[in-house]
Chains A and B, each alone.
Chain A
Amino acid sequence: MSILSLDQPGRTVLFMGNEALARGAIEAGVRVCAAYPGNPSSEIIGSLSQVAEELGLYVEWSVNEKVAAEVAAGASLGGLRSLTAMKHNGLNVAVDFLFNLSMSGCRGGMVIVACDDPLALSSTNEQDTRPYAKMLDLPLLEPSDFEEGKRMVSFAFDLSEELGLPVVVHSVTRFSHARGNVTLGAIPRGQDKPFFDASQGVFPKPIEQTHPALHRKLRQAGERVQAAGFNAYLGPASPELMVVTCGSGVGYVKEALHNLEAAGRVGVLKIGGTWPLPAELLREHLARCQRILFFEEVDPFLEDNIKAFCAQEGGALAGKTFYGKASGHVPDWGENTPDVAITVLARVLGIGYQPPRPAAYAAEAAELVAELATPRTLGLCAGCPHRATYWSIKNALALDGRQGFTFGDIGCYAQGRGPSGFGVMKTMHAMGSGAGLADGFGQLTRFGAEQPVLALCGDSTFFHAAIPALLNARYNNANLLMLVLDNSATAMTGFQPHPGVGKNAMGQAAPKVELAEICRAIGAEVVELDPFDVESTTATIYGLLQDLQGIKVLVLKQECALLRGRRQKLLYRVAVDPDKCRGQECGCHRFCTRVFKCPGLIWDPAAGKADIDEAICTGCGVCASICPAGAIAREAV
């Protein structure tokens, strides 16, 4: 049993935003859930996978988001309710299919949860996905608290089924990864048998029928959302300022008005259904005052669309003064916070706000922290196989001496662009792009390029998006050395299994796809090694670079240190021999801690020697092979 599947209607529990969304799906009778992981969305399907068996659901980790959306849509065409969830980049991958699906329509309720990550807290880029809903002509809902998130997903299933159209629910990191109170409802047990009516096809064409029908459905959606009570006006009858807000902004504005003691002066128009625009609601409430402030995150989605609406409407909505991103009052990038809301509202209302602590205290705190609290640069875990890999690449490229470099990808190993990967990784874009970029650079030898180029990606990334690039390189005769960092997991997003792992989302045994076999089938020369063997790995990379004809793949296989740590703490017991450690004095000058920088190694300033932190070391034993003085000893456990 898990807290997500508690069958105790009326009980209040603490749910992560993602669990609230998942519970909404459960209470709506979802049967099929499919996704590829990506923060902040991963726990939606992750938590559902843990209750799948108990509740009779089918839950899968798909190889990528487009396939996940197709799996969910396939179930919907069979008449069952289905859910797919993805991070913003994932929606980019899925939209090609979705632009067709919105016109063909679906059958069983289908909900797409799109999670954005303002400020890119765990992403490569910042992106607002809400404009996609407008482009797709799909209804868009944005929850502002946990209980509402659950209710919205349940409602979205009903709406989707009624319209025969997928519905998008939008979340952000501060919702998905936050927690709050949710009251449980009943869990239905779905019994419908799936059926696809093969007497009729499902097509996005003819356009003269499907596109106007889509617009009709969207208008209908607007009316249904309004009736569901997700949009609301809160405030005095004639406020001096109207704040239009949605999603996370609702809580921040409430917090700001509380701190500024301004709730009596300001109206808040909370919009839960942000596409299509709630026309009636806007007509009624925007007429209440002249000054309108839009408070939303990243892009001016409501702001632009509502301004256009006001211009079109004229009359009581004409001639307003707008505050928002265009006017420079609200930041047009990054995440909002209560402090941002306080600053914006204080400025627009002309209130002088002082945080409730003495300025002298704030200054002293800032000074002490700046002086003492060294920032924590993110890095690879102690004993992470990626560190060993980067060590070998760095040394192989140095030996090679032709200014070779590495195009990288996304995963834990993206830390390779920073100190814990010795700055080896030189690019980071979309999943699979490292291979594509290296493929492109690899074609430049014909123009005289002399630098060798490596591509690297993780195992999950390989299956998600790197295969087409490898195929392309082979077909177009590129010279490419690709490293696949196979740590038996999608580690970055929470260790989800993938086709190479032999296990599925529900924990059942699954056929194992050997990525080396795929590479061989494409025509690559494949070498497989353990990256903890830094000597062989370095020599192999160096060797492959010397004769780089065609495509070569080096698969570096070693389990993620955190995953291994769950079963077995140490591979080796590692210790520093203080008599052998040359410390500051020797030519190596603290080589292990200064250059290799594994967090399991520490420097004992009193003794002037390196040491091992037993609470952090995971016993990979790699440092024993890099210490030039042979002072680090390892003993197999």
Chain B
Amino acid sequence: MSGQIDPRNVIITGVGGQGNVLASQMMGQALVQQGLVVTIGETYGASQRGGSVMSHLRISRSQQWSPLIPEGQAHLVVGLEPLEALRVMARYGNPQVLTLTNTRPIRPLDVIAGNAEYPELEVILSSLARLSQKVWTVEATEIALAMGNPIFSNMVILGAMAGLGLDWFPLRRDSFQEVLGLLLPAKAMASNLEAFDRGQAAVQALPL
């Protein structure tokens, strides 16, 4: 990790059922494997779908930080859902924050019920652009659906995070693969790794 900034703060956010918790656990486990000290704080209620779910990752060279990021101190925001990426900015965003987001909307209950509007994707992305130093987008759900199951979106996003090439976020494919072996049944290895690779390729194909 470069510079003196410690800890580095990452927020992975999405909607219940998107596999947010597993994604942050895998990433954290991989980084611990690489010798870092990681704390993850999870904000989720019950197992029901539909609520906002947010993981705070504190990545440090030396210390076990608390599981919650203080106001305005996110370095990287990762959205499994675009509106959730935006929502996080109210409390944790700052002009230097980097943002990576899936583009596929999941509509809140009030939108389904016709009591509220879901903004156009372009509006969400332009708002994110105003609030971030840089924004990357990945069609993670579409990539996952092309693989046959939307559940892979979270692994696509993890691959995309690794593909950003941030020097302070050194997630390596080999440690990710080792973690897959540790946490998932053997038969899930190939597909999850494929999702990771596709995510990495997708973000690397974006214009600089």
The answer to whether B112 touches A180, judged by C-beta atoms less than 8 angstroms apart, is: no
In angstroms, Cα B111 to Cα A364, docked, is 23
Q: Which residues of A contact B207 (CB under 8 A)?
A: none
The answer to whether B130 touches A364, judged by C-beta atoms less than 8 angstroms apart, is: yes
The answer to whether B52 touches A13, judged by C-beta atoms less than 8 angstroms apart, is: no
| Bitwise interface map of B from 12 to 29 toward A, beta carbon under 8 Å scored 1, else 0 | 000111000000010011
A252 contacts partner chain B, Cβ-Cβ < 8 Å: yes
Chain A, range 279-335, C-beta contacts under 8 Å to B:
none
Chain A, range 340-383, C-beta contacts under 8 Å to B:
342, 355-358, 361-362, 364-366, 368-370, 372-382
Given known A-B contacts A178-B39, A381-B48, A492-B46, A255 and B182 have beta carbons under 8 A apart: no
Pick from B45, B66, B94, B183: contact of A356, CB under 8 Å: B94
B173 contacts partner chain A, Cβ-Cβ < 8 Å: no
Q: Which residues of B contact A255 (CB under 8 A)?
A: 65-66, 70
The answer to whether A599 touches B46, judged by C-beta atoms less than 8 angstroms apart, is: no
In angstroms, Cα B131 to Cα A346, docked, is 28
The answer to whether B40 touches A376, judged by C-beta atoms less than 8 angstroms apart, is: no
A7 contacts partner chain B, Cβ-Cβ < 8 Å: no
A337 contacts partner chain B, Cβ-Cβ < 8 Å: yes
B170 contacts partner chain A, Cβ-Cβ < 8 Å: no
The answer to whether B72 touches A377, judged by C-beta atoms less than 8 angstroms apart, is: no
B165 contacts partner chain A, Cβ-Cβ < 8 Å: no
Given known A-B contacts A361-B94, A374-B116, A602-B107, A415 and B48 have beta carbons under 8 A apart: yes
A259 contacts partner chain B, Cβ-Cβ < 8 Å: yes
Give the Cβ gap from B20 to chain A, nearest Cβ, in Å.
Answer: 13
In angstroms, Cα B54 to Cα A178, docked, is 12
- Specify the chain B residue showing the minimal Cβ separation from A414: B46
A78 contacts partner chain B, Cβ-Cβ < 8 Å: no
The answer to whether A412 touches B47, judged by C-beta atoms less than 8 angstroms apart, is: yes
Pick from B49, B65, B114: contact of A379, CB under 8 Å: B49
Chain A, range 259-273, C-beta contacts under 8 Å to B:
259
Given known A-B contacts A374-B116, A381-B17, A593-B113, A178 and B67 have beta carbons under 8 A apart: yes
Q: Which residues of A contact B70 (CB under 8 A)?
A: 255, 259, 337-339, 342, 355
The answer to whether B113 touches A369, judged by C-beta atoms less than 8 angstroms apart, is: no
B174 contacts partner chain A, Cβ-Cβ < 8 Å: no
- Specify the chain B residue showing the minimal Cβ separation from A337: B68
| Bitwise interface map of B from 21 to 62 toward A, beta carbon under 8 Å scored 1, else 0 | 000010011001000011111111111111110000000000
Pick from B47, B114, B127: contact of A491, CB under 8 Å: B47
In angstroms, Cα B39 to Cα A399, docked, is 54
Give the Cβ gap from A498 to chain B, nearest Cβ, in Å.
Answer: 16
Q: Which residues of A contact B182 (CB under 8 A)?
A: 3
In angstroms, Cα B106 to Cα A602, docked, is 10
Pick from B16, B39, B110, B150: contact of A180, CB under 8 Å: B39
Give the Cβ gap from B62 to chain A, nearest Cβ, in Å.
Answer: 11
| Bitwise interface map of A from 39 to 55 toward B, beta carbon under 8 Å scored 1, else 0 | 10000000000000000
Given known A-B contacts A13-B29, A376-B50, A369 and B90 have beta carbons under 8 A apart: yes
The answer to whether B25 touches A615, judged by C-beta atoms less than 8 angstroms apart, is: no
The answer to whether A594 touches B86, judged by C-beta atoms less than 8 angstroms apart, is: no
Q: Which residues of B contact A628 (CB under 8 A)?
A: none
Q: Which of B117-125, B156-164, B189-197, B198-206 is the contact stretch?
A: B117-125
B89 contacts partner chain A, Cβ-Cβ < 8 Å: yes
Q: Which residues of A contact B73 (CB under 8 A)?
A: 355-356
Q: Which residues of B contact A370 (CB under 8 A)?
A: 90
Given known A-B contacts A14-B25, A174-B41, A356-B72, A251 and B65 have beta carbons under 8 A apart: yes
The answer to whether A355 touches B114, judged by C-beta atoms less than 8 angstroms apart, is: no
Chain A, range 211-265, C-beta contacts under 8 Å to B:
248, 251-252, 254-255, 259
The answer to whether B48 touches A369, judged by C-beta atoms less than 8 angstroms apart, is: no
Pick from A122, A420, A494: contact of B109, CB under 8 Å: A420
Give the Cβ gap from A392 to chain B, nearest Cβ, in Å.
Answer: 20
- Specify the chain B residue showing the minimal Cβ separation from A362: B72
Given known A-B contacts A251-B65, A337-B68, A358 and B95 have beta carbons under 8 A apart: yes
In angstroms, Cα B107 to Cα A602, docked, is 8
Given known A-B contacts A174-B41, A178-B39, A251-B66, A379 and B50 have beta carbons under 8 A apart: yes
The answer to whether A252 touches B87, judged by C-beta atoms less than 8 angstroms apart, is: no
The answer to whether A365 touches B67, judged by C-beta atoms less than 8 angstroms apart, is: no
The answer to whether A374 touches B39, judged by C-beta atoms less than 8 angstroms apart, is: no
A12 contacts partner chain B, Cβ-Cβ < 8 Å: yes
Pick from A179, A412, A492, A594: contact of B114, CB under 8 Å: A594
Q: Which residues of A contact B41 (CB under 8 A)?
A: 174, 177-178
| Bitwise interface map of A from 572 to 607 toward B, beta carbon under 8 Å scored 1, else 0 | 000000000000000000100111011101110000
Q: Which residues of A contact B89 (CB under 8 A)?
A: 365, 368-369
Given known A-B contacts A12-B32, A13-B32, A372-B119, A174 and B108 have beta carbons under 8 A apart: no
A562 contacts partner chain B, Cβ-Cβ < 8 Å: yes
A419 contacts partner chain B, Cβ-Cβ < 8 Å: yes
Q: Which residues of A contact B40 (CB under 8 A)?
A: 14, 178-180
Given known A-B contacts A378-B45, A599-B107, A357 and B50 have beta carbons under 8 A apart: no
Q: Which residues of B contact A369 (CB under 8 A)?
A: 86-87, 89-90
B141 contacts partner chain A, Cβ-Cβ < 8 Å: yes
Q: Which residues of B contact A202 (CB under 8 A)?
A: none
Give the Cβ gap from A33 to chain B, nearest Cβ, in Å.
Answer: 22
Pick from B29, B94, B110, B150: contact of A377, CB under 8 Å: B110
Q: Which residues of A contact B93 (CB under 8 A)?
A: 357, 361, 365
B98 contacts partner chain A, Cβ-Cβ < 8 Å: no
Give the Cβ gap from B130 to chain A, nearest Cβ, in Å.
Answer: 7
Give the Cβ gap from B77 to chain A, nearest Cβ, in Å.
Answer: 11
In angstroms, Cα B109 to Cα A384, docked, is 14
In this complex, the member of A179, A259, A381 whose beta carbon has the largest number of chain B beta carbons within 10 angstroms is A179
Pick from A13, A373, A602: contact of B112, CB under 8 Å: A602
Q: Which residues of B contact A356 (CB under 8 A)?
A: 72-73, 94
Give the Cβ gap from B63 to chain A, nearest Cβ, in Å.
Answer: 8
Q: Which residues of A contact B111 (CB under 8 A)?
A: 374, 603
In this complex, the member of B15, B104, B119, B127 whose beta carbon has the largest number of chain A beta carbons within 10 angstroms is B127
In angstroms, Cα B110 to Cα A562, docked, is 22
The answer to whether B183 touches A379, judged by C-beta atoms less than 8 angstroms apart, is: no
In angstroms, Cα B42 to Cα A174, docked, is 8
Give the Cβ gap from A301 to chain B, nearest Cβ, in Å.
Answer: 20
Q: Which residues of B contact A248 (CB under 8 A)?
A: 66
- Specify the chain B residue showing the minimal Cβ separation from A595: B113
A616 contacts partner chain B, Cβ-Cβ < 8 Å: yes
The interface of chain B, by Cβ under 8 A from chain A, is 15-17, 25, 28-29, 32, 37-52, 64-73, 83, 86-87, 89-90, 93-95, 104, 106-114, 116-119, 123-124, 127, 130-131, 141, 145, 150, 182-183
- 15 of the cross-chain contacts (CB-CB < 8 Å) are A14-B32, A175-B67, A179-B28, A180-B64, A180-B67, A259-B70, A365-B93, A372-B123, A374-B117, A376-B109, A412-B47, A593-B114, A595-B113, A599-B107, A599-B109
Instruction: Add 11 more A-B contacts to A374-B116, A597-B113 (CB < 8 A).
Output: A179-B25, A180-B64, A342-B70, A355-B70, A355-B72, A361-B94, A373-B86, A373-B87, A376-B109, A377-B110, A602-B112
The interface of chain A, by Cβ under 8 A from chain B, is 3, 12-14, 16, 39, 121-122, 145-147, 174-175, 177-181, 248, 251-252, 254-255, 259, 337-339, 342, 355-358, 361-362, 364-366, 368-370, 372-382, 384, 412, 415, 419-420, 491-495, 562, 590, 593-595, 597-599, 601-603, 613, 615-616
3 closest pairs, A vs B, by CB? A251-B66, A178-B67, A357-B72
